[in-house]
A and B are shown apart, each in its own frame.
Chain A
Amino acid sequence: MAGIASKHLIRIEDLTVDEIYSVLENAATFKEINTRTIKKLPTLRGRTIINMFLEPSTRTRSSFELAEKRLSADSLNFSASSSATVKGESLLDTAETFDAMKIDMVIVRHRYGGSPWILAEAMDAHIINGGDGIHQHPTQTLLDLFTIQEAKGRIAGLTVGIVGDIYHSRVAGSLAPALKMMGARPICIAPPSYQPDVPEALGAEVSHSLDEALPDLDVVYLLRIQGERAQGLSVPSLREYATVYGMNQWRMDNLMKPDAIIMHPGPMNRGVEITPEVIADSRSLVLDQVNAGVAVRMAVMYQMLGGEGDVATAAR
């Protein structure tokens, strides 16, 4: 079994390109297992995993929980406000408390960038970043890469447009550098007010026009636009955003490459960044991404915790 050299997965750069490919390969096996009637494997039996979600999350948390259950790990959920002042206990104290309980792995979702490092430094456990502030969300990126590879047969050489509030997007914060690592060409498509401070730091090119960029794209990756961040300071309104940057039937028919794919990390704002017709189109792979999420997370946990036997054996 191919392991993962880094103890933690906090940034996508913690993985090498070879490790990313090995995750995708193992995920394909797990994906097949997830189609069986009995989906449970004994590989992480006896291992303890905490899902520490300090910010609301539905899909990422469910996806991790399912992955843990299917690998037979013992898991428990811990939620709280991420603000130390509200919670009354600092993240460091929480980390030390759990460390004393001898945990093998922590999945952490947190409101502030870099917070998983506090756990990494205070605990013996492996830490997987389930999304930290506006920083990164590496397992989302792995499932995105998996989906792209399945649909397009490759990642290298593809042009991928990431469209939306990139500045505030931890999804983009991992996806753009990962695409660059894998030999693809990421383009941040957004008005300047939604662009990262330095897009080149993510390995990405910049475009202010979806209409200009769209004909070149092999993958159209739409980000969720949060209503409170589209009320006049960064963009005038959701309505205007939808007009200029929203993916709709007309753009799909007239500007998009016929074989391009459309992705979205969810949850979607129907009618804002993506219209219902686009969601319903066969080239929209939003549910494939969700499906891949469980398999990819199984692969990551399996490789980081060094489950018994190799996946192929486990799968037989």
Chain B
Amino acid sequence: MSRLQPAKGKLLLKGARCVDPQAGLDVLADILITDGSIAAVDTAIDAPDAEILEVGGRVVVPGPVDLHVHLREPGQEYKETIESGTRAAAHGGWTGVGVMANTHPVVDDGAQVRSVLNKADATGLVRVYVYGALTRGLRGEQLAEMADMVAAGAVGFSDDGHGIQNPLMMRRALQYALVFDKVVLAHAEDEKLADGGVVNEGLVSTRLGLPGQPALAEELAVRRDIALARLTGARLHICHVSTAGAVAAIREAKAAGDVAVTAEATPHHLFLNEDALDVRYNTNLKMAPPLRSEADRVAVLEAFLDGTIDALASDHAPHAPQEKELEFELAQFGTVGLETALPLVLGELVAAERLSWSDFVQRVAVAPRRILGLEPVSLAAGSVADLTVFDPAAKTKVTKDWLVGKSKNSAFLGWGVRGLATEVIVGGQRVLKEGCVVV
């Protein structure tokens, strides 16, 4: 039996600050949910037979969707499972996650897509949207069977983990994805130019004696993929933008208006730079793309604030201690991020009045669904009841104990964050209550 079911009965959210730019809303209202859908958004709704949830002025938004998550199941369940990862997602305030195909085996055919969706149905606490591989085995040599995967429910395609190095292969993949009108999510990295670098090429690589990769390794790949998207007419989404050069390329493409390109940024590229790496060689700060210079960080942040970068995505990449407590060059790439992404943006940008609540909703809920071609979720009657309640004043320190996901390799351990999800409702079902994941 499915773990997530449209909840029967009525749930009434009382006294919510409802923020939804799609509905032009930023008002104090009540929300009545009936049988998993929003029945009414109005002041002082009276529903005597409903379960009452006193929101008390906290903020209710359409449920955030994380475009970029590695749940590691199948194959690496010691790092994360669909169950543990979706618990982490709920804890972080997300009502849905898009999961990458680089599992073992790779999700590169319909049976694998179905298998992940079945497991998500049985164990998932939030909605799971599955991306199929663009190429078989993520090897960049042969197209994967996209029709088969679309029929099984894939919502997009990506070889995330490695960019497709061969431009002809990328062209063909974009062309073929066009048949199904699915988005292609690109991990933009020219591996030849990156030359095995494990940190950004610059002051820090020299100081720490670690092989660096130039920012240009990203920019070149982004420029190539944009040109190929223009050539093919396909929908291109640039994952984890980390450099000023990539930002400029995306900005130019959007200004030209002749190519369907969107982009995401991660919290670690928004809030950390390479200077966080010091002589202690913290491997939780090793990720791909690497933490970049302060100038890059500022460029990515500005693009995120002005909407050039459409969406926030965590690039949640769980790893076990034995894969991180290693020589820096041997440690795996990645940081977990599901649980910290939204609080970081709320605390660092929304509370600081650099990003409005309305734009926050755009970046975390509206844009991700638009990019994936999902049904919009809105705070309006008739919409499916996927929504999240945030307490902007709630604070915590990011510790291994606070994280509920299976892996604790967070780049933000020790940070104080302000702005936490207290309630997550998926299809009317409460999966996070008072900040605690419903078991």
Q: Which residues of B contact A83 (CB under 8 A)?
A: 330
Residues of B close to A117: CB separation below 8 A? 279-281
Given contacts A10-B279, A134-B211, contact A114 B327 (CB under 8 A): yes
Q: Which of B209, B279, B325, B328 contacts A92 (CB 8 A)?
A: B325
| Dominant secondary structure at the B interface | loop
Q: Considering the complex, which residues of chain B in the window 199-215 have a beta carbon less than 8 Å from any beta carbon of chain A?
A: 201-203, 205-212
Given A132-B209, A134-B209, A197-B212, does the pair A92, B203 have CB atoms closer than 8 Å?
no
Alpha-carbon distance A118/B324, docked complex (angstroms): 11
The residue among B206, B279, B281 with the most chain A CB atoms within 10 A of its own CB is B206
Chain A residues closer than 8 Å to B325, beta-carbon distance: 90, 92, 118
Decide: A201 and B206 in contact? CB cutoff 8 A. yes
List the A side residues contacting B206 at CB < 8 Å: 196-199, 201-202
With both beta carbons as reference points, the residue of chain B lying nearest to A13 in the complex is identified as B279
Contacts of A91 in B (CB 8 A): 326-327
A136 contacts the other chain (CB 8 A): yes
B322 interfacial by beta-carbon distance below 8 Å: yes
CB distance from A165 to the nearest CB of B (A): 14
B348 interface contact, C-beta 8 A: no
The smallest beta-carbon distance between A14 and chain B, in angstroms, is 9
- A173 lies within 8 A of chain B by Cβ: yes
A113, CB-defined interface residue at 8 Å: yes
**Interface status of A185 (Cβ within 8 A of chain B):** no
Q: Taking the complex as formed, is A264 at the interface, i.e. its CB lies under 8 A from any CB of chain B? A: no
User: Once bound together, how far apart are the Cα atoms of A133 and B212, in whole Å?
Assistant: 13
- The 0/1 profile, CB within 8 Å of B marked 1, for residues 82-109 of chain A is 1110000011100000000000000000
Cα(A135)–Cα(B326), bound, Å: 16
Contacts of B271-292 to chain A: CB distance below 8 A: 279-281
Contact partners of A135 in chain B: CB under 8 A = 208-210
Is there an interface contact between B202 and A133, defined as CB atoms closer than 8 Å? no
* Min CB–CB distance A167 → chain B (angstroms): 9
- Which residue of chain B is the closest to A122 with respect to CB atoms? B325
B329 in the interface (beta carbon within 8 A) = yes
Report which of B201, B203, B326, B329 forms a contact with A133, defined as CB distance below 8 A. Answer: B329
Contact partners of B211 in chain A: CB under 8 A: 134
Contacts of B212 in A (CB 8 A): 197
- Measured in the bound complex, the distance between the Cα atoms of B193 and A151 in whole Å is 43
A70 at the interface (CB under 8 A from B): no
Q: Does A224 contact B (CB under 8 A)?
A: no
Any B CB within 8 A of the CB of A139:
no
CA distance A197 to B202 in the complex (A): 5
CB pair B326–A113 under 8 Å, yes or no, is no
C-alpha gap A112/B281 in the complex (Å)? 11
Q: Within 8 Å CB of A121, what residues of B?
A: 280
| Residues on B facing A (Cβ under 8 Å) | 201-203, 205-212, 279-281, 322, 325-330
What residues of chain A have their CB less than 8 Å away from a CB belonging to chain B? 10-11, 82-84, 90-92, 110-115, 117-118, 121, 132-136, 170, 173, 196-199, 201-202
The 9 lowest CB-CB distance pairs between A and B, nearest first, are A135-B209, A113-B209, A114-B281, A201-B206, A112-B327, A112-B329, A198-B206, A115-B327, A196-B206
User: What are 23 A-to-B residue pairs whose CB atoms are below 8 Å?
Assistant: A11-B279, A83-B330, A84-B326, A84-B327, A110-B327, A112-B327, A112-B329, A112-B330, A114-B279, A115-B327, A117-B279, A118-B327, A121-B280, A132-B209, A133-B329, A134-B210, A135-B208, A135-B210, A170-B209, A197-B206, A198-B203, A199-B206, A201-B203
Other than the given A117-B280, A197-B201, 20 more pairs (CB < 8 A) read A10-B279, A84-B330, A90-B322, A90-B325, A91-B327, A110-B327, A112-B329, A114-B209, A117-B279, A118-B281, A133-B329, A136-B209, A170-B209, A196-B206, A197-B202, A197-B203, A197-B206, A197-B212, A199-B206, A202-B206
